[in-house]
Amino acid sequence: MRIVFMGTPDFAVPCLKRLVDDGNEVVGVFTQPDKPKGRGYTLTPPPVKVFAEENGIPVFQPKSMRDGEALEILKRLNPELNVVTAYGKILPPEILYLPKFCSINIHASLLPKYRGAAPIQWCILNGEKETGVTSMLMNEGLDTGDILISEKLPIDENMTAGELHDKLSLLGADVLSKTIRALLDDSLKPIKQNDDESCYSPMLTKALCPIDFTKTIDEVHNKIRGLSPWPTATAVLGGKKVKLHSSEKTELKGGAPGEITVSHGEMLVACKDGKLLKILELQPEGKKRMSAEAFLLGHKIQSGDSFK
């Protein structure tokens, strides 16, 4: 099958790789323009572009999908199917419906739950016990198209958004492969989404990062793991900002919200009702990420100190 793939970040790479491995004819890849990264603002290609170029697939990086240029490129490529995975651009109708089999999207949630830009993070922030990947027929709405195939994945209690991202990206490749096989043998049965069951996952901002330790231990734990590795939950200790990357709930109690207990190389912080959350990894301002034990060895932190 002649396929045009549209995707940008690491999450999309396993899907593109699976298309190639399954023997599909990937005639072109659309991805976001290169962007400056790092302290030196070095112009860096998206991961999808890197993979495509390594595999000899033509790459296109239009600034807009609405100015006519992208449509002309697509007409020349003449795909039977567009596959979209975390592309980051809205597709106009003339592009969505150009291919013989239209366009399908691989979305990192169990639609209609968590439509939108950040489904992986929001399902953890909200304390969900499972999520998954859905393939859908694309329409002009935001993740509102008919569901094709949906597969579930349990969320472990201490799993971070970064860890869940990696698992879902691999599951996404499996779902895509199954969807295309079903499309070819005409066994797909599209299911309309129930809008009454929908919820949205808006883009993350740094305004979400500060932790309020007067919240429950579940809320604090979910914020830490839901915002890891980016934009990362933060607190203030000794007048300096600290990023908190991972944590673990305990059955212990003691202290006012934000109060630290240091015990046997472990750092515990009190949440609502005095329940203690174990901090596993953190990152002082301007320093590298480290274990709580390493942090305690390098800083004069003692029981009774507090995160603000």
Same domain, 237 and 151: no
Q: What is the model's pLDDT at position 40?
A: 85
- Is the bond leading into 92 cis (omega within 30 degrees of zero)? no
Q: H-helix or E-strand containing 176?
A: helix 161-184
pLDDT in tens, 162-194: 999 999 999 999 999 999 999 999 999 999 999
Provide the domain count of the chain. Answer: 2
Residue 25 lies in a domain: yes
Distance, in Å, from the CA atom of 26 to the CA atom of 105, rounded to the nearest integer, reads 16
Distance, in Å, from the CA atom of 8 to the CA atom of 29, rounded to the nearest integer, reads 10
Which distant-in-sequence residues (6+ apart) come within 8 Å of 239 by Cβ?
Answer: none
The length of the chain, given as a count of residues: 308
Same domain, 180 and 240: no
Residue 54: band (very low, low, confident or very high) from pLDDT cuts 50, 70, 90 = very high
Last residue of a domain, one of 139, 170, 201: 201
Same domain, 190 and 223: no
Last residue of a domain, one of 201, 235, 255: 201
Domain of residue 36 covers 2-201
Residue 307 lies in a domain: no
pLDDT in tens, 268-297: 999 998 999 999 999 999 999 999 999 999
Comparison of pLDDT for 111 and 67, the residue scoring more:
111
Last residue of a domain, one of 184, 201, 218: 201
Q: What is the model's pLDDT at position 229?
A: 97
Report the interhelical angle of 161-184 vs 13-21 (nearest 10°). 30
- Scan for tokens 């190389």, then name that residue: 265
Which CATH number goes with the domain that contains 210? 3.10.25.10
Cα–Cα distances (Å) from 32 to 46, 61, 94, 167, in that order, read: 7, 5, 19, 23
Residue 305 lies in a domain: no
Which CATH number goes with the domain that contains 55? 3.40.50.170
122-148 per-residue burial string, b: 16 or more CB within 10 A, e: under 16: bbbbeebeebbbbbbbbbeeebbbbbb
Residue 54 lies in a domain: yes
Same domain, 46 and 134: yes
Neighbours of 96 (CB within 10 A): 20
